Amino acid sequence: MNERNKKENRPSFRKKPEQTPTGRQAGEKKFYDNADMMQLFNVTSRTLQRWRDDKLVPFKKLGGKIYYLAHKVDDLMEAEDENAD
């Protein structure tokens, strides 16, 4: 095997391997953090705190950072859309 073939057959760690989406669409987030939620709903961090205190939105706290399950937030938004009609 010559030098060129060795390089072509060796996996490259500089290229990101192509992955096929599983379950959810490609690029879809599984979690939102506070910054995502603030931007998504155009609210302040204090409003998010009040929503958590009032148990309006489910969340998890990991290592001092708060995460919101994206599919639950999306479900809440869809439920609100149905109630608005």
Q: Distance between CA 48 and CA 12 in Å, rounded? A: 43
Whether residue 3 is contained in a domain is answered as: no
CA gap 9, 26 in Å, rounded: 28
**Residue pLDDT, tens place only, 48-85:** 999 999 999 999 999 999 999 999 998 888 887 777 76
Q: Does 67 fall in a domain?
A: yes
CATH number of the domain encompassing residue 73 = 1.10.10
- Picking from 10, 27, 44, 75, the residue whose alpha carbon sits closest to that of residue 1 is 10
Query: Is residue 12 one of the residues assigned to a domain?
Result: no
Which amino acid type is present at position 8? Answer: E
Residue 31: which domain range?
A: 26-84
C-alpha 1 chain-centroid distance:
45
SS3 assignment, position 38? helix
17: in domain: no
Q: Looking at the 3D structure of the chain, how many domains does it have?
A: 1
Q: Is residue 66 part of a domain?
A: yes
**Percent of the chain predicted with pLDDT > 70:** 66
* pTM for this entry: 0.60
